[in-house]
Structure 1
């Protein structure tokens, strides 16, 4: 297994009076030619929006955008006629296809904190797509829950070579590492010990190659996201 650990404090930071965003990969004006992508992942952004603020209308093209809310409510609307209110335990996916414009905002009464992840699409120039699903009940089991994939589990990704798994673990909870050519682990809450990697805390990530086995164990209550990817990046 090939291990590359990226610590929370080393992420790119974008701060304004309404936005706090930490980017795991090169994003917008933050550019590092050695940190463009991993597998099919192009972006992993942890975003906090102040109440009543957010991203006004902006465009995406030929990218899959998967959003996982950590606290609060994220309000979405797009030029294809889709809208939604996404809360913790719900996953949202937007396939930008040949082009779509959308807005993302926090309600007037509360802030919102969420993870937004971008992937390379399987095809370019397709029709825009939108889907949303509640997986909160399944997360109570303490194991991996597949929340998005191209194989019919969770929200449907158009990228069949990728799947997003989430685990909410109690102290001492354990899950096996998904076996995959590319595996990206992100700790959203708590602390975990990963076999062959070491300790990861909230905001830390591990980029793993050629994963065959191993175990992740929570030292306290924790929430972890794992992108399992089987394709080489294009």
Structure 2
């Protein structure tokens, strides 16, 4: 097993007033040649958008864009005709393909919205754009991995991504150990701690720390307090 630690204190940061964003990988005005991506995982942005504010209509192409709300609600509109609201417990994906325009806005006029926006390089370029959104049972991720993104187009395998990738969420109680077995032994795993503290292969991780893991077929996580974790299994070559 090989690991690379990504400290929560060593992320890019942009505060635009209405938007407070932390970047695990190079994005916008933050450029770090050593942090361009982890395999097919290109962007991991940790965003807070003030009440009533948002991103105006803008284009994307040839990228798989996953949004995971952590607090509040996010309004989405796109050129495919979708107009939706996503909240905690839901996951959204937009396969930009040949090109799509979309906008995102905090639906609340009083409270901020917090969410992760994640970009993954697709396995095929110039496909027809598509949109998917699903609600997940929060209780079903207590001390077990809940698949929320996968390449499989089935009702119980999360929103479909055009890549050999799986995202899982887990709420791990204090002093619990859980092992994730990779779906593809050639993939890597990026673990991102949303809340709490845990340990993987001797590496301690706290809130918003990340760990990139390669050359393994399984990842064992042990919590040192209640922890909320996002695990992303990603192709390392694509």
| TM-score where L is the length of structure 1 | 0.94
8 Å CA contact retained: 1:185, 1:225: yes
Structure 2: which 5+ runs fail to align? none
Moved over 4 A (4+): none
1:140: how far off? Answer: 4.3
Q: Distance in 1 between matches of 2:208 and 2:192?
A: 7
Structure 1: which 5+ runs fail to align? none
| 1:1-234 to 2 correspondences below 5 Å | 1-107=1-107, 108-152=109-153, 153-159=157-163, 161-179=164-182, 180=185, 181-194=187-200, 196-229=201-234, 231-234=235-238
8 Å CA contact retained: 2:60, 2:101: yes
Tell me the SS of whatever aligns to 2:208: coil
Aligned pair count reads: 231
Q: Distance in 2 between matches of 1:171 and 1:106?
A: 33
1:28: how far off? Answer: 1.2
1:115: how far off? Answer: 0.7
Q: Distance in 2 between matches of 1:96 and 1:197?
A: 39
1:199: how far off? Answer: 1.0
1:169: how far off? Answer: 1.4
8 Å CA contact retained: 2:141, 2:169: no
8 Å CA contact retained: 1:178, 1:228: no
8 Å CA contact retained: 2:38, 2:236: no
Tell me the SS of whatever aligns to 1:52: coil
1:172: how far off? Answer: 2.0
Question: Which digits, 9 at most, give the CA deviation of each residue in 1:127-184, with x for residues without a partner?
Answer: 111111111345343200110100231011121x111011011212321033343110
Q: Distance in 1 between matches of 2:138 and 2:8?
A: 29
Q: Distance in 2 between matches of 1:78 and 1:166?
A: 26
Q: Which moved more, 1:136-145 or 1:202-211?
A: 136-145
| TM-score where L is the length of structure 2 | 0.92
CA RMSD of aligned residues (A): 1.4
8 Å CA contact retained: 2:188, 2:212: yes
